[in-house]
Structure 1
Amino acid sequence: MARIDPERIRNVALLGHSHDGKTSLAEAMLYAGGAVERLGRPDAGNTTFDFEPEEIKRKISIGTAIAHLTWHDAKINVLDTPGFQDFAGDVYGALRAVEGALLVVGASTGVVVGTELAWQQLRARTLPTLVVVNKMDKENADYWRAVDSFKEFSPRPVSIQFPIGYEAGFKGVVDLLTRKAYEFDPQGRPAAVPLPSELAAEVESRRSPLVEAAAETDDTLLEKYLEAGELTDAEVTAALAEGVAAGAIVPVLCTAAGKSIGIGTLLDAIVALLPSPRQAPPVVAVNPRTDQPETLTREPAGPLGAIVFKTTADPFVGRISYVKVVSGVLTSGTPLLNAAKDQPERAGTIGYPKGKTLEPAAEVVAGDIAGISKLQVTATGDTLASRDHPLRLPPIEYPEQTYSAAVGAKNKADEEKVNAALVKLVDEDPTLTLEHEPITKETIVHGMGDIHLDVVLEKMKRKYGVEGTLAVPRVPYQETITSSAKAEKKYKKQSGGAGLYGHCVIDIAPVPRGTGFVWEDKIFGGSIPQNFRPSVERGVRETMEQGVLTG
């Protein structure tokens, strides 16, 4: 197989509110590209992307899933991210692996909370974006109302097409770039059809804002537009691509993923308007042994540098690390260096992800995405490099956890198994952390929400055969001394000889807040042997750890 040119790769993440049809859209893209033989449906539990039992049960995406397709001569890697906020942490890793995004919005609902949150993430990274108004075949679908719901956003999205029909009557799209109308076969592939005469005037009025937005990307182009009043289709397309790459233009398209309408023209737009990895800005890496920076130009000829953006682990399948190759070429069996930990690694099986499987690959070039099996010390966020040219890429930043619970074993005898399973699950999920509370003696798990932690318990039972429980963490109350007191205790024990006798007096008094524990030994002479005295202090300290009221 010939080496893939990074110029022909498109890496695209799908973001948006839960239930706006991201997974259905991703499935329709695979189907249109011939990557799958049937159109998977989330409601039927048979999609390429939502394959975990917890996802099938809830009919929502819980983790980012990856698959690829070929459209014309381009390879498109599709990353379907969760829309439910309890699992939004997986979005952060996905955004490090792509150069473009599809922001999916429901045609009936328009912009909602999840849309706004996704938009904020995309704008923070100035990530080139296409807006997709999906579910155009559903009741109350209104394309222009959905587009208008973006009016407060900056830059304001601009339509490059509009629908032919609405709701059950939605059957195609009009391309404002070419003024052509398209309908679609059952697989989502477009076919040009005569433009309905009643839409001719609307095409011209809707096209003007698009051409103006394209012209404003370049002074020379703007001058030509102002003088001639028109630009060629090629000029508009090239200017749009430049504007999208710069984050200045956000094109809008429409689809009905469940019926594969609008899919082929969406894939055309991805290839024409979203940047390739080669067009993305250079990345500055650091040599971990010298702390010297090095700029990577995202070329196969450069030194190897790959970021691990997702990890999965299964007791049967094993561990798979999903990487974005930023520079160089990754090959199977290559001696690697985990630059984050400065430890050697060796790539096992390398493959192109397709849902839960890997399609074997001899090599993966800069700009492409792969899964690697059997890495031993590598975690999400780590950098893989060659051992003779160490490089560390910038780490992935994840959101702070917002929800905590005390986790325990349903059966006391399984406590060690629960702890071992939790450690493995934490290894998969960067938004999941464990903490041992020394005062309450509880294990606290921190995550992104109650559903997030419920799913953790379900995975623990399914993968590792052990059941856990969640509870509200106990409050680790702190006690302090508020006034002076005196304690006295005598100890007598007759042992047949002279016997044992001890007399201990302890004076307790508060000290200024922040001083901590102060111990004073006021024993005079040798009335109490020196080797006995530390036991008294140790007893006081042990009592302090537990408290005398709530301990």
Structure 2
Amino acid sequence: MKVYETNQIRNIAILGHLGSGKTSIAEALLFSSGAIASRGSVEQKNTVSDYMDEEKTKQGSLSTSLIPVEYNGIKLNFLDVPGTDELDNEIKQALSVVKGAVLVIDASKGVEVGTERLWNEIRKMHIPAVIFINKMDKENVKFEEILENIREKLGKKAVPFCWPIGKNENFEGFVNVIEMKARIYNGTESYDAPIWEEKKPKIDQLREMIMESVAETSEDLLEKFFGGEELTEEEINTGLKNGIYNGELTPLIVGSATKNIGIRTMLGMLAKYLPQPDDLRALEGINPKTDENVVRHTKDAEPFSGYVFKTTIDPFVGAINFIKVNSGTLKTGQEIMVHDLHKLEKIGAMFVMMGKTQLPVELAHAGDIVCVSKLDNTHTGYTVSDPKQPIVYP
């Protein structure tokens, strides 16, 4: 796999109540980006994400899977996170290494118990999020009722960036309210369509609501907006980013993973509006030699440090550690300190996992997620860093 710079990386958790369609979305993301030639399905037990025998039997995720997606020069590291309460530690470990989230809601069920629990966890950790309403092609789906349900239970900050076209089995696309374009999908391709006259008042109302939210991110924009001036495209994009970053705005988009509707639009929005690894807050830890607080920024120029957020056992290579590079760079042959073991290790084979497939890499920039094998006795929750400039993360 190609090596990506920090500003080309997005780390994003895919979360949702059990059965909301997270794994199907991961499959659609891979298919839409060209990483796989055809989509698997949970029912056929051939998805990239749910590859363990027990997951295939239960038809549900039991472990966090890494799904790297390359799209328009951006690498999006998706973590497909289990939706069950029993795997709470998996969820918390995944959220500790991302700066963005997609919260998936089943359109036929609305906000469920797990949805609220995950939403509260995202808010508590100040992670910017996008809500994806999946399964819009199911029977008895009433979008305006779902929207009211979401805004009532998750808050008024959730704003529809898309409005559906067609409903139930006739759901075929949506109006992108930001771009003011209708998009119709035929399963493999999409094309622009005019916005129906009867829909224009609703779309104009939604756009006005979004523009007001954008204006509220800056006093200058607010003055311009209420002065009747049009905001420029750059001002809109900057305002949307700021609103999403600080939690004042949560985009809500619609689609169907099994029909591949809305997936490319979601990819574009995630790449454009969710933070890159060096955005938002810096990371804090302790220097184990002095017990002093240490701050690390997610930049290549900083000393290397990383956090092991997941460990799996492969029958052929043994333990595989998933490492988020918090600062500096990591490359094959590099010597690192495993602080929990007080032990020096040398990085051997380094790779990116796509489900269970290993894609070799030789270098990882600050903010990226990579996998390393043969780090003896290194486990989830351990910190690794430059031996000369140590840090331990809580």
The two structures have a TM-score, normalised by structure 1, of 0.69
> Counterparts of 2:143 and 2:273 in 1: how far apart (Å)?
21
Aligned to 2:311: 311
Tell me the amino acid that sits aligned with residue 283 of structure 1.
L
> Counterparts of 2:226 and 2:281 in 1: how far apart (Å)?
32
Q: Does 1:172 find its partner at 2:173? A: yes
Aligned to 1:149, what secondary structure does the other structure show?
Answer: helix
Deviation at 1:154, TM superposition (A): 3.6
Aligned to 1:10: 10
The 1:368–1:181 alpha-carbon spacing in structure 2 relative to 1, beyond 3 Å, is same
Aligned to 2:102, what secondary structure does the other structure show?
Answer: strand
Aligned to 1:60, what secondary structure does the other structure show?
Answer: coil
- Contact 2:385–2:391, Cα closer than 8 Å, also in 1: yes
Aligned to 1:162: 163
Aligned to 2:278, what secondary structure does the other structure show?
Answer: helix
Aligned to 1:193: 193
The 1:185–1:77 alpha-carbon spacing in structure 2 relative to 1, beyond 3 Å, is farther
Deviations 1:408-465 (Å, cap 9, x if unpaired)? Answer: xxxxxxxxxxxxxxxxxxxxxxxxxxxxxxxxxxxxxxxxxxxxxxxxxxxxxxxxxx
Deviation at 1:192, TM superposition (A): 2.3
Deviating more after overlay: 235-244 vs 153-162 = 153-162
> Counterparts of 2:102 and 2:321 in 1: how far apart (Å)?
24
Deviation at 1:232, TM superposition (A): 3.2
The 1:354–1:281 alpha-carbon spacing in structure 2 relative to 1, beyond 3 Å, is same
Tell me the amino acid that sits aligned with residue 273 of structure 1.
Y
Q: Does 1:20 find its partner at 2:20? A: yes
Aligned pairs (5 A) from 1:292-307: 292-307=292-307
- Contact 2:317–2:374, Cα closer than 8 Å, also in 1: no
Deviation at 1:201, TM superposition (A): 2.3
Deviations 1:456-483 (Å, cap 9, x if unpaired)? Answer: xxxxxxxxxxxxxxxxxxxxxxxxxxxx
> Counterparts of 1:390 and 1:159 in 2: how far apart (Å)?
45
Tell me the amino acid that sits aligned with residue 298 of structure 1.
T
Aligned pairs (5 A) from 1:466-477: none
Tell me the amino acid that sits aligned with residue 164 of structure 1.
I
Deviation at 1:67, TM superposition (A): 1.4
Aligned to 1:182: 183
- Contact 1:162–1:173, Cα closer than 8 Å, also in 2: yes
The 1:155–1:381 alpha-carbon spacing in structure 2 relative to 1, beyond 3 Å, is farther
> Counterparts of 1:154 and 1:166 in 2: how far apart (Å)?
25
Deviations 1:359-396 (Å, cap 9, x if unpaired)? Answer: 000111111101111110211011111222211122xx
> Counterparts of 1:69 and 1:9 in 2: how far apart (Å)?
10
> Counterparts of 1:242 and 1:33 in 2: how far apart (Å)?
27
Q: Does 1:91 find its partner at 2:83? A: no
Aligned pairs (5 A) from 1:413-452: none
Aligned to 1:496: none
Q: Does 1:282 find its partner at 2:272? A: no
Aligned to 2:309, what secondary structure does the other structure show?
Answer: strand
> Counterparts of 1:85 and 1:202 in 2: how far apart (Å)?
38
- Contact 2:3–2:361, Cα closer than 8 Å, also in 1: no
Relative CO higher for 1 or 2, CA cutoff 8 Å, sep ≥ 6? 2
Q: Does 1:248 find its partner at 2:242? A: no
Aligned length: 393
- Contact 1:20–1:105, Cα closer than 8 Å, also in 2: yes
> Counterparts of 1:114 and 1:388 in 2: how far apart (Å)?
44
Tell me the amino acid that sits aligned with residue 55 of structure 1.
E
Q: Once the two structures are aligned, what percentage of the paired residues are identical?
A: 35
Aligned to 1:128: 128
Aligned to 1:77: 77
> Counterparts of 2:276 and 2:268 in 1: how far apart (Å)?
14
Provide structure 2 residue ranges, at least 5 long, that are not aligned to the other structure.
none
Q: Does 1:111 find its partner at 2:114? A: no
Deviations 1:103-146 (Å, cap 9, x if unpaired)? Answer: 10011111110100001100110100001111001112222222
Aligned to 2:93, what secondary structure does the other structure show?
Answer: helix
Aligned to 1:28, what secondary structure does the other structure show?
Answer: helix
Deviation at 1:190, TM superposition (A): 4.3
The two structures have a TM-score, normalised by structure 2, of 0.96
> Counterparts of 2:2 and 2:311 in 1: how far apart (Å)?
28
- Contact 1:133–1:143, Cα closer than 8 Å, also in 2: no
Aligned pairs (5 A) from 1:335-484: 335-394=335-394
Deviation at 1:185, TM superposition (A): 5.3
> Counterparts of 2:169 and 2:53 in 1: how far apart (Å)?
32
Aligned to 1:58: 58
The 1:349–1:203 alpha-carbon spacing in structure 2 relative to 1, beyond 3 Å, is same
> Counterparts of 1:360 and 1:217 in 2: how far apart (Å)?
42
Tell me the amino acid that sits aligned with residue 114 of structure 1.
G
> Counterparts of 1:251 and 1:337 in 2: how far apart (Å)?
41
> Counterparts of 2:63 and 2:380 in 1: how far apart (Å)?
14
> Counterparts of 1:207 and 1:134 in 2: how far apart (Å)?
22
Aligned to 2:320: 320
The 1:238–1:191 alpha-carbon spacing in structure 2 relative to 1, beyond 3 Å, is farther
The 1:316–1:3 alpha-carbon spacing in structure 2 relative to 1, beyond 3 Å, is closer
Deviation at 1:155, TM superposition (A): 5.3
> Counterparts of 2:114 and 2:386 in 1: how far apart (Å)?
40
Structure possessing the higher radius of gyration over alpha carbons: 1
- Contact 2:317–2:373, Cα closer than 8 Å, also in 1: no
Aligned to 1:466: none
Deviation at 1:74, TM superposition (A): 0.8
Tell me the amino acid that sits aligned with residue 334 of structure 1.
Q
Deviation at 1:200, TM superposition (A): 2.1
Deviation at 1:41, TM superposition (A): 0.8
- Contact 2:172–2:186, Cα closer than 8 Å, also in 1: no
The 1:372–1:190 alpha-carbon spacing in structure 2 relative to 1, beyond 3 Å, is farther
> Counterparts of 2:264 and 2:282 in 1: how far apart (Å)?
31
> Counterparts of 1:135 and 1:103 in 2: how far apart (Å)?
14
> Counterparts of 2:108 and 2:131 in 1: how far apart (Å)?
15
Deviation at 1:215, TM superposition (A): 1.2
- Report the RMSD for the aligned CA atoms in angstroms: 1.6
Aligned to 1:257, what secondary structure does the other structure show?
Answer: coil
> Counterparts of 1:53 and 1:11 in 2: how far apart (Å)?
27
Deviation at 1:3, TM superposition (A): 4.8
> Counterparts of 2:146 and 2:375 in 1: how far apart (Å)?
45
- Contact 1:35–1:68, Cα closer than 8 Å, also in 2: no
